[in-house]
Amino acid sequence: MGEAGRADEQAGVARAANRDLETALQDVRTERDYAMTQTALAEARQREAEEQTQTAQAVSQFLTGLFEDADPIARTGRMFGSQNRGEGELTALEVVNRGTSKLETALIDKPRVRASLLDQIGTVYLNLDRPQEAEPLLEEALQLRLQELGPDHLEVAASWQSLGVLHMSRAEMEEAGAALEKALALRRKHLDENDPLIADTLFHLGTQRTFYCEYAEAESILQECLAIRRVHADADSRGVIATLLMLGQMHISNEVPLHAAPLLAEAAALVDKRQGNNDFSDIFSLFIQAQLAGNLGDADRARKLFEQVDAKGVKLLGEDHHILAFSRYQFAGFLESQKEYEEAVKMMRGTEEVFRKSFGPDSYYVASLLLQIARSERGMGDYLQAEATAKEAIDIFRKDMGRRSVPRRSERASQCFHVLAALVVDRGKVDEADMYYREGLAIRLRLFQEWDVRTRWMGSQLAYLLLKRESMPVPFRFRDHHVPSGEPDTDLEWAECFTQAAQVVTGNSQSLTADDKLIVEYFQQRAVELLHSVVDHGELEEEGLQTNSNLKLHYDRADFQQLVNEFKKK
């Protein structure tokens, strides 16, 4: 090998040695960086644990200081100022009011501790049905946590959950759902899938979906919550009870009470096991059992259960609590079903102010209450007052639908339009009745692919009203029948009535609204449905279908031509 070759070889060996050295150094740096990273993570975890411990201790000391005034000596004024009431104990409201007062200037230099206390005291205010006092505390807690901890932290999730519950207490369901979804996303990200905190958020979110009438999603969420809480059942049997009860309420609200029965039976057994006399879970269990008994037709049992709920609710919650008001609303519905209209109205009027205060004056729940009052007032024969009440409900329903369309809530609004239309038409207000029938019927036509009894009933009544207003002949039986009679002559006559009603709508409008178009299409479909019955049961000739001038409106319709073709084959 020449000198040049040896030089190249030596250079190659040197390069290889350098590479090996660099690799070794990189390995050392990697191991060092890894060790440093693990050390940093361990230190960060240690700091987080220490901060959490310090926060918990500071919160405990602060709250302990609030409750020192339970000492009779302290009630002379040592702790919070003079108290002249003597031997009475501090109420929960007094405690949190004083805690709020202390927090105005306390712990400014410890934002994490301050945020935790604000969140806890705000939650107590919510439990005392005082959302106005809770809101500024919960909002400040969230802002402090965002500033101190950033948006991706578990304590921020706690604030989002508290705000979600605040919004629910005001029936601000869309805002509640958004806040609770943020809390759930954070907790799923940072916690094990069966962590009890995830179950807590799922419970509130499932409750929100139930009140928002989104029952399929509510059931899925609550079932996941229940599965997690069963894992921790020994430590959280109250949570299992609450979830079973909410699932039962969801099924009752969705009008499938038989699905609720086994859930309520299990909840009742757990309540008995806990010996929860006069406990909120006991009241809620009785409340749902009362609804179930009423839906299943056991009137005597339903009445007794509602009365027990009322007596225990007054004792535990007070006369003006929104949960007791909601129970009385359901009790009044039961009384209405028993035709005890006067008692039903009295009970509902007694809850009206609580509904307005708790859920807001323009909320869906106030509108639903007013609708039920109007029905009972009509049952009493007080038609003028029923009309006024129903109109007030309609105004609120329109606002609610303008905020967001929820099928079950829109369906409830359509019921109110139906009730009001029937009230005003009886007093000769034909044009007003026409407006209410159209608006209510259009809502139902958008909601349902298949026509239910109310949709058919409203359609027949609107068609009858339109024809009578135009002085057209119309059989009286037509107004109160919803399906074909099976009598060929009658069904043909009714088909002609629906056809003429469609022509009235199109003829009286220079430009059809979207609602008008829906109603015209509906009238034509009803006419073709009746013609099917004529063909199936009668001796109508093929030419009779295609030459009847009263049916000319349908000649170009695909469903009408299909009927003609079926008749030819037949």
pLDDT in tens, 250-265: 887 787 777 887 887 7
What is the rounded end-to-end Cα distance, in angstroms, of the chain? 107
Rg of the chain (C-alpha set): 34
- Cβ 65 vs Cβ 95: under 8 Å: no
pLDDT confidence of residue 203: 96
- Cβ 376 vs Cβ 348: under 8 Å: yes
Burial of 388 (0-12, 13-18, 19+ CB in 10 A): middle
Give the number of other CB atoms < 10 A from CB of residue 512: 14
Q: Write down the pTM of the prediction.
A: 0.66
160 closest CA partner among 181, 191, 136, 189: 181
- Cβ 452 vs Cβ 418: under 8 Å: no
CA distances from 10 to 22, 64, 517 (A): 18, 79, 93
Residue 86 phi, psi (nearest 5): 85, -115
Low-confidence ranges of the chain (pLDDT < 70): 1-25, 27-109, 234-236, 274-281, 404-405, 508-510, 538-550, 552, 555, 564, 566-570
Interatomic CA distance for residues 71 and 151, integer angstroms: 41
pLDDT confidence of residue 261: 76
pLDDT confidence of residue 43: 53
Give the number of other CB atoms < 10 A from CB of residue 404: 11
419 closest CA partner among 390, 399, 445, 443: 390
Burial of 245 (0-12, 13-18, 19+ CB in 10 A): buried
pLDDT confidence of residue 292: 81
Residue type, 498: F
The percent of residues in the chain predicted with pLDDT above 90, rounded, is 35
pLDDT confidence of residue 434: 93
pLDDT confidence of residue 17: 58
- Cβ 486 vs Cβ 514: under 8 Å: no
Residue type, 174: E
437 closest CA partner among 456, 450, 448, 409: 456
Average pLDDT value for the chain = 79
Interatomic CA distance for residues 540 and 65, integer angstroms: 91
Buried b / exposed e along 55-77 (16+ C-beta atoms within 10 A):
beebbeebeeebeebeeeeebee
- Cβ 551 vs Cβ 527: under 8 Å: yes
Q: What is the 3-state secondary structure (H, E, C) of 84-98?
A: CCCCCCCCHHHHHHH
Q: Which residue has 């009322």 as its token pair?
A: 310
pLDDT confidence of residue 492: 86
- Cβ 468 vs Cβ 425: under 8 Å: no
pLDDT confidence of residue 315: 82
